[in-house]
Amino acid sequence: MSSERPTAQELRQGITVEIVQGDQDVQSEDREPIVGEVATIYEDTPEGPEVELKNGVGGHVQSVVHDE
């Protein structure tokens, strides 16, 4: 995972990102990252941009997943 999170302005619908769900502590070692395509972009927060994925899960973007 990249140490620099993207901003909400850098995100686009349809890109694949790794998020931490809104009810998880983004600093916790036990967090479960979820990878999916962005459906809706809400706003920037200190925890990372808030988005909803196409599968309906919402959370804060931690990194963009690049195709290898």
Structure tokens at 48: 């990372």
Residue whose C-alpha is closest to residue 27's, from 7, 44, 8, 47: 47
Helix residue ranges, H only, the chain: none
Question: How far is Cα 21 from Cα 34, in angstroms, rounded to an integer?
Answer: 8
pLDDT in the model for residue 33:
82
Read off the pLDDT of residues 13-36 as tens digits, 9 standing for 90 and up.
Answer: 999 999 998 766 656 666 678 999
pLDDT recorded at residue 35: 94
DSSP 8-state secondary structure symbol assigned to residue 12: -
**Mean pLDDT (whole number) for 50-57:** 95
* Mean of pLDDT values over 26-50: 85
Cα-based angle 36, 37, 41 (whole degrees, multiple of 5) = 115
Claim: this prediction has a pTM higher than 0.85:
no
